[in-house]
Structure 1
């Protein structure tokens, strides 16, 4: 009996350790993967394969799952404070759509307004191998990237655009998606849930007043410009009408003078014809009559010259001077008898 009592512990204890070791091997060698989960397996620290949903067997102590961790802050909707969420030594990678409610981001708009934006991001891991080998703490990386993109976008917008046109921030999804592709992540959407400001009412009121003043300045400038245009057009039309009137007046005066000259000429022609008819000349040969008229004009002019004060006149031989002048104009005359040819009693 003594031998049996000593034999049982010697057998049971090794069997117990064998049983424990078998359990450890079973736990490490068999992996149960749920739907929409994957596990990255490494062999001696090198990538081996990816386990999808189902039961899988691996070599214990040779094959091991690749671990990862996350640590990031969330807004607690109950307390309103930031809450640290973290986990370490994770082996199962979820391929479902994940949603992270990130802390409020402080941003400054183009018109120097300080705002707090409460944003939420939804993403999905599409390449587990690329994700686990290219980045650490994926949620924190996405949070920092979203913060940077928010500041870049909102810095080029004004406060009223951010509040009234929420669609202006939809470009965040595309920008985030382009950056997240290198981590094997697809960005589903990025939404801004709430916009807060310490004095949002005052900011909007100032913005409204500034817009109204700008509009008033623009309207006044347009009215002033239109008034100048109208004045310029009126002056132009006045100058055109005035020039046309002056031109018409000059033309009318010229026509009047021309008509007067024509009338005088016609009257002179008639006068010459009447004189020619009176002296018995042929009206078809009006040259003699015209010479007569010119002679009379000449004599009238000489008469006016003689009548001027301070005029000195020297006459030719009184017996022949005027007759010589008449001969110059083609008038035939007979010399009067002089004293030389008169007989004395």
Structure 2
């Protein structure tokens, strides 16, 4: 059976329709947005999933990655406020929020973000001293994020994080900083040692003061006891107690001999040999006391007889 011209045209038309349908169907993967341009002008944005455009009239413009992306900031030299040169590098994280703005508001999005970040790193870190630069990295990151995010917001992107990775001062500057740190540590050690010595001297002085106070208190108690003993002996003498007089005199005599005998530079001591001399002396003192104060019975004591006695013999006694 011969084919007519109509039989040929129908399959061709079917094929063309299928081609048009396939040309108008666009599948957008997850995490991406596609912009649609009609005769060169932006019309709409295709979201993830199945989308249909007009073939040969609409076309896909820019395929924008909507996921958060990382951008490595290369190393650059920064001059601080105190004229120190440091090498700095960092990293920036950003996310496209509006595909049309990111595609049509700036040319070369990543290059623009990179140059913007590097410029602001030099600006922010150049306004700080080296010590502030090394100790306030969190503050630097916060300032950089705020400045870069404000500058990049018209491009339809959000700067999520800007971090300084490394700050490398010159080798001679690092050596000077190490010497300064060592000197500071030595200074603190000397201060602590001086504080410890001061505290020890204070405690020692307080100990001496407490000991002196205790010694003075002991001497005061001894003086009070001595005064009390003297008062008791005086009262006993006034009452005519001869035994108290004998005890008091004998005690003082014995203490005097002990003191003389214990002296380190005393080698020879002269003292009476007869013990009766000491007893006679005590008896004489007792008789005088009875004569002065009486024996307590109201009668005058008998006057002692005068007895001549030979002087006591003395001899050297080895100390």
Distance 1:243 1:137 in 2: 89
What is the match of residue 50 of structure 1? 45
Deviating more after overlay: 131-140 vs 90-99: 131-140
Q: Tell me whether 1:209 sits opposite 2:179 in the alignment.
A: yes
What is the match of residue 276 of structure 1? 297
Q: Give how far 1:202 is off.
A: 1.6
Q: Give how far 1:184 is off.
A: 3.5
Structure 1 residues 145 and 43, CA, compared in 2 at 3 Å: closer, same or farther? same
Distance 1:57 1:122 in 2: 33
Structure 1 residues 176 and 274, CA, compared in 2 at 3 Å: closer, same or farther? same
TM-score by length of 2: 0.51
Query: Residue 73 of structure 2 contacts residue 118 of structure 2 at CA under 8 Å; is this kept in 1?
Result: no
When Rg is computed on C-alpha atoms for both structures, the one with the higher figure is 1
Query: Residue 177 of structure 1 contacts residue 187 of structure 1 at CA under 8 Å; is this kept in 2?
Result: no
Q: Give how far 1:229 is off.
A: 1.5
Alignment of structure 1 residues 128-167 onto 2, 5 Å: 128-129=99-100, 131=102, 138-139=109-110, 140-141=112-113, 143-145=115-117, 147-148=119-120, 152=124, 155=128, 158=131
Distance 2:123 2:189 in 1: 34
Alignment of structure 1 residues 118-129 onto 2, 5 Å: 118-129=89-100
- Provide the alpha-carbon RMSD of the alignment: 4.8
What is the match of residue 85 of structure 2? 114
Q: Give how far 1:196 is off.
A: 5.0
Greater RCO structure (CA 8 Å; 6+ sep)? 2
Structure 1 gap ranges (5+): 1-25, 66-89, 163-167, 281-345
Structure 1 residues 173 and 57, CA, compared in 2 at 3 Å: closer, same or farther? farther
Q: Tell me whether 1:257 sits opposite 2:278 in the alignment.
A: no
Distance 1:98 1:224 in 2: 57
Distance 2:129 2:212 in 1: 57
Deviations 1:281-327 (A, max 9, x none): xxxxxxxxxxxxxxxxxxxxxxxxxxxxxxxxxxxxxxxxxxxxxxx
2:158 aligns with one of 185, 191, 208: 185
Query: Residue 148 of structure 2 contacts residue 159 of structure 2 at CA under 8 Å; is this kept in 1?
Result: no
TM-score by length of 1: 0.48
